[in-house]
Amino acid sequence: MKPILNKKYIKNAVKKANKILHNGGLVIFPTETVYGIGANATNPTAVQRIYKIKNRPYNNPLICHFQNLQKIKDDFEMNEVAKKLADNFWPGPLTLILKKKKSSTICTEVSNNNELVGCRIPNNSIAKEILKSVPFPIAAPSANISTKLSTTNIKHLDNKLSNKVFFIDGGESHLGLESTVLNVSSKQPEILRYGSVTVEQLKEIIPDIYFIKKNNSKFLSPGQQTKHYSPNIPLRINVNKVLEGEVLLNFGKNNLKSKIFELNLSISGNLKEAGKNLYDYLHQLDKYEYKGIAVAPIPNNDLGKTINDRLIRAISHDSS
């Protein structure tokens, strides 16, 4: 069923979301990356509801979404690197880890009692309208059950969420991959999570940047658990052959073939198209009647780094 993306629907949905958020409830809403499940970031009880309904560990921090840059400056310290990145990528799919000011009203539950918090300004019209309508930032991780596939379309929502949480149908996510997370609170900028802004794009603005693999990085950024973004059935990546009973998630043109069913992330080999399709196609292939999902090799450059990161975490058996 196609979303009703008319002005009246959006206006009424935003009005209802405003009321729910003010009352400490949760709202599922679209962003340009994936759908988020949000709460008032200054309300500890509301934020705790996110962790509970997602079955999310408290050491997996949330990202705070803001209406504009001034709202972020009200709560956080911003150095020159942060300002430069903000000027180039906000609003958009970049999350910056910033240090809270002592005067900040954002509750500690958002970031596992850490003074460092992931912040971003989304570039989605509905998300913007919601943020414009409330006087507080919205803490919002992806609208999925912890460790499971992210949601880029309302039909992907788990019944445990859609039956209990008000949601706004904003159609398909424009990008389909989560935001890139960058720690700019330290002397040298660190990429904590690959995302929709590529390393190559970041290096054009901040050449002195690197990807961090320290064990404590998971306490600063979401998406760092070993097992994450996972379908319900087994997944094999970088395959050179599709096994009996497997469906295929293909990429580009090759000789791979499934006897049952297959989808191609991008026949032309376009990584942006592949990124947009990744979660949607995995949701479509994630059926218990199949023995597993075989995934073709994905080039490990540009958005391919992000896609491969998600696929590697999806095959892990470690739930830490």
**pLDDT tens-digit readout, 244-298:** 999 999 999 999 999 999 999 999 999 999 999 999 999 999 999 999 999 999 9
Question: Which H or E run contains 287?
Answer: none
pLDDT, residue 18, reads 98
- Joined together, the tokens standing for residue 275 give 């990124």
Q: Which residue has the higher pLDDT, 123 or 220?
A: 123
Rounded Cα distance, 183 and 221, in Å: 9
Q: Confirm if 65 and 38 have CB atoms less than 8 A apart.
A: yes
Res. 210: pLDDT tops 90: no
Closest CA to 106 of 42, 61, 161: 42
Rounded Cα distance, 308 and 304, in Å: 6
* Burial of 317 per CB tally in 10 Å (0-12, 13-18, 19+): exposed
What does the buried/exposed string (b/e) look like for 51-78 if buried means 16 or more CB atoms within 10 Å of the residue's CB?
Answer: bebbebeeebbbbbbbbebebbbebbeb
Separate counts of helices (H) and strands (E) for the chain? 9, 15
Q: What mean pLDDT comes out for the span 190-208?
A: 94
Query: For the CA atoms of 300, 303, 309, 311, what is the dihedral angle to 10 degrees?
Result: -90
Q: 90-112, pLDDT tens digit by residue?
A: 999 999 999 999 999 999 999 98
Q: What mean pLDDT comes out for the span 131-159?
A: 97
Q: What mean pLDDT comes out for the span 238-247?
A: 98
Res. 222: pLDDT tops 80: no
Q: What mean pLDDT comes out for the span 222-247?
A: 86
**Per-residue confidence band for 120, with pLDDT thresholds at 50, 70 and 90:** very high
Question: What are the extents of the domains in the chain?
Answer: 7-219, 235-315
**Per-residue confidence band for 318, with pLDDT thresholds at 50, 70 and 90:** very low
- Joined together, the tokens standing for residue 133 give 């309508």
**Per-residue confidence band for 181, with pLDDT thresholds at 50, 70 and 90:** very high
Rounded Cα distance, 176 and 49, in Å: 25
Res. 219: pLDDT tops 70: no
pLDDT, residue 283, reads 98
The DSSP code sequence of 59-93 is TSPPEEE-SSHHHHHHHEE--HHHHHHHHHH-SSS
Res. 28: pLDDT tops 50: yes
| CATH superfamily entry for domain 7-219 | DHBP synthase (3.90.870.10)
Phi-psi region of 181 (alpha: psi -120 to 50; beta: other; left: phi over 0): beta
**Per-residue confidence band for 229, with pLDDT thresholds at 50, 70 and 90:** confident
